[in-house]
């Protein structure tokens, strides 16, 4: 990592560059899964408090993204996929990104603690620290298991949402944590199969670079076999209705079939692309089904009352 020590030119960074530092797509996934954790919690939370929690989680996720881009600016500059990001492209100075990330991280945690509750704030702080220190600064450059362990940071938002509503954690949000945790390796390794050259050039020890494509495809299948029943667990344990059960089972079978096809292939990128695209849909379908399931149950009980 190289932080420029030269005298700073007045910045040309626009608002869009700072938004890009926050990784809006990752942020939207964190907000959506946190919303589900918040809605399925068995307590009534005032909408303003719920909205406050979601804003803090969004800003916290954005802060983690900005700090990741600050630390990984050297890697990003060597990869085609990330070379146009604000720091390697020279639009934002590394120091500006660091200050931006730290300010947002501290702000999000403090506001969540002050306006919602301390348990949610502590989990948000843990999530940011895990992503920046454990994943970005430690695991990403040292082990092919980087995204497996680092995936815990991205899996925490449903627990933060639940904690924002209840002030504690329970088995139900832990299941959602596990679903995202086991979903992360098939999702990212499918992408890394497509970008193996990029990662090799940047010196990032992703699984396809270190262990080869065949081993990666096998690992994707193993994690998918674990993921499919986990996806259905909220229904099997009685936390959700049959709508969720049917969607989770069907999506799990589809994900398994795609992983099986990918494992059976020797070359070609089409199967990786299909699995990567479907993995995004898979997570969205599961969490959207949980949301619909819970909201419809609440509506029915409201009408009955």
Binding site for another protein (CB under 8 A): 5-8, 10-15, 18, 46, 48-49, 52, 55, 111, 113-115, 117-119, 167-168
Nearest CB to another protein, comparing residues 85 and 140? 85
Nearest CB to another protein, comparing residues 24 and 205? 24
Give least dist CB 256 to another protein, A: 40
Q: Which residues contact 32 (CB under 8 A, 6 or more apart)?
A: 284, 287
Give least dist CB 87 to another protein, A: 16
Residue found under tokens 């933060």: 160
Instruction: At 192, list the tokens.
Output: 């890394």
Give least dist CB 300 to another protein, A: 27
Give least dist CB 305 to another protein, A: 24
Give least dist CB 46 to another protein, A: 5
Give least dist CB 17 to another protein, A: 9
Q: Is 93 left (phi over 0), alpha (psi -120 to 50) or beta?
A: beta
Nearest CB to another protein, comparing residues 11 and 298? 11
Could you give the CA distance from residue 180 to residue 188 in angstroms, rounded to a whole number?
A: 12
Nearest CB to another protein, comparing residues 10 and 242? 10
Q: State the sign of the Cα–Cα–Cα–Cα dihedral 294, 170, 164, 22.
A: negative
Instruction: At 184, list the tokens.
Output: 């992360």
Nearest CB to another protein, comparing residues 162 and 223? 162
247 touches 282 (CB < 8 A): no
237 burial level (CB within 10 Å; 0-12, 13-18, 19+)? exposed
Could you give the CA distance from residue 30 to residue 61 in angstroms, rounded to a whole number?
A: 7
Nearest CB to another protein, comparing residues 49 and 134? 49
Angle at 126 between CA 57 and CA 190, to 5 degrees: 75
């Amino acid at each position: 990592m190289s932080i420029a020590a030269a005298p700073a030119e007045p910045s040309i960074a626009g608002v869009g560059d700072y938004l890009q530092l926050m990784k809006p797509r990752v942020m939207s996934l964190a907000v959506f899964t946190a919303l589900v954790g918040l809605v399925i919690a068995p307590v009534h939370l005032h909408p303003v408090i719920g909205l406050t929690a979601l804003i803090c989680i969004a800003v916290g996720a954005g802060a983690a993204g900005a700090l990741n881009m600050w630390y990984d600016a050297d890697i990003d500059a060597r990869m085609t996929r990330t070379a146009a990001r604000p720091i390697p492209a020279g639009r934002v100075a590394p120091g500006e990104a660091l200050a931006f990330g730290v300010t947002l991280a501290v702000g999000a945690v403090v506001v969540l603690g002050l306006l919602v509750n301390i348990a949610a704030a502590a989990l948000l702080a843990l999530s940011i620290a895990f992503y920046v220190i454990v994943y970005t600064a430690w695991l990403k450059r040292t082990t092919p298991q980087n995204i497996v362990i680092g995936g815990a940071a991205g899996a925490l938002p449903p627990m933060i949402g639940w904690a924002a509503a209840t002030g504690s954690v329970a088995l139900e949000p832990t299941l959602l944590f596990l679903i995202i945790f086991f979903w992360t390796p098939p999702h990212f390794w499918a992408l890394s199969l497509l970008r193996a050259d990029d990662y090799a050039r940047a010196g990032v020890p992703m699984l396809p670079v270190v262990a080869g494509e065949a081993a990666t495809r096998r690992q994707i299948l193993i994690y998918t076999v674990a993921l499919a029943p986990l996806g259905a667990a909220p229904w099997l344990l009685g936390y959700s209705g049959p709508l969720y059960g049917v969607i989770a089972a069907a999506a799990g079978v589809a994900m398994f079939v795609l992983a099986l096809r990918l494992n059976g292939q020797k070359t070609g990128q089409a199967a990786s692309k299909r699995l990567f695209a479907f993995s995004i849909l898979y997570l969205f379908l599961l969490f959207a089904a949980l949301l619909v399931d819970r909201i419809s149950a609440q509506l029915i009980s409201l009408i009955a009352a």
